[in-house]
Amino acid sequence: MFKHSKEKPAYGIIGLGRFGTALALELADHDVDLIVLDRNEDKIREFREITENALVIKSLDKKSLEETGIQNCDVAVVCIGEQLDTSILATLHLVSMGIPLVLAKAKSSDHGEILKKMGAEVVYPERDMAIRLAGRLQTTKVLDFIQLSEKINISKLPAPPCLVGKSVLEVNFRRRFGQNIIALENNGQVLETLHPEYVFRQGDVLFVSGSREGLLQLTNWLEREQ
């Protein structure tokens, strides 16, 4: 059974199709605990070179899922798109297990609405990729853009000269643009907790979360201030 070390975040992936495989490989490159589940023994055999928590699961009923230990994850992602009934049941079980964040891949808007009503965050891989690209094209100051849901995005952008010497409280991104600074990086060092009194320095890179509309307003303001 998979057990979370508590020293690093734990992710569970159900379904090793193209989306699930790409997501699992990306997570494996980071310092996380990872469990992957699929009914295909060949796919699981390949992933055992990446994580010891690669398990064949023939049924996605609640008892079988609990036996894997996936309920110990911080985040679980249902990457099943084609089999709607299997996707819906797996999502229902994961949410009922009390996993803090359950994300589920949706094939259509109707499928997504059902998953939302179950308490899952819904992802539409093809659409989200297009939105991410559009976001990066429209916000040229943004180094990276990740859409977690329709309302929550995480963006990485360099602090422009107009912010240097000002405090977090002075610029107040939360009040003005609905954006929260969740971390800051400078010269390879990352601050995960940013106090209101922090004064921006040259070379700061900001990680902000909020709506895509708020990000556009923020980047437009930054461009005007330069």
Q: In the chain, where are the structural domains located?
A: 10-123, 128-225
pLDDT in tens, 40-58: 999 999 999 899 999 999 9
Pair of tokens at residue 179: 């954006």
Cα dihedral sign for 6, 147, 13, 184? negative
pLDDT-derived band of residue 8, with 50, 70 and 90 as boundaries?
confident
- At residue 128, the pLDDT reads 59
pLDDT in tens, 87-128: 999 999 999 999 999 999 988 889 989 999 999 988 877 655
d(CA 56, CA 43): 9
DSSP H/E element including 213: helix 212-225
Tell me the three state secondary structure of residue 42. helix
d(CA 60, CA 107): 19
CATH topology of domain 10-123: Rossmann fold (3.40.50)
- At residue 107, the pLDDT reads 85
List all residues 6 or more positions away from 197 whose beta carbon is below 8 Å from its beta carbon: 167, 168, 169
CATH node for 128-225: 3.30.70.1450
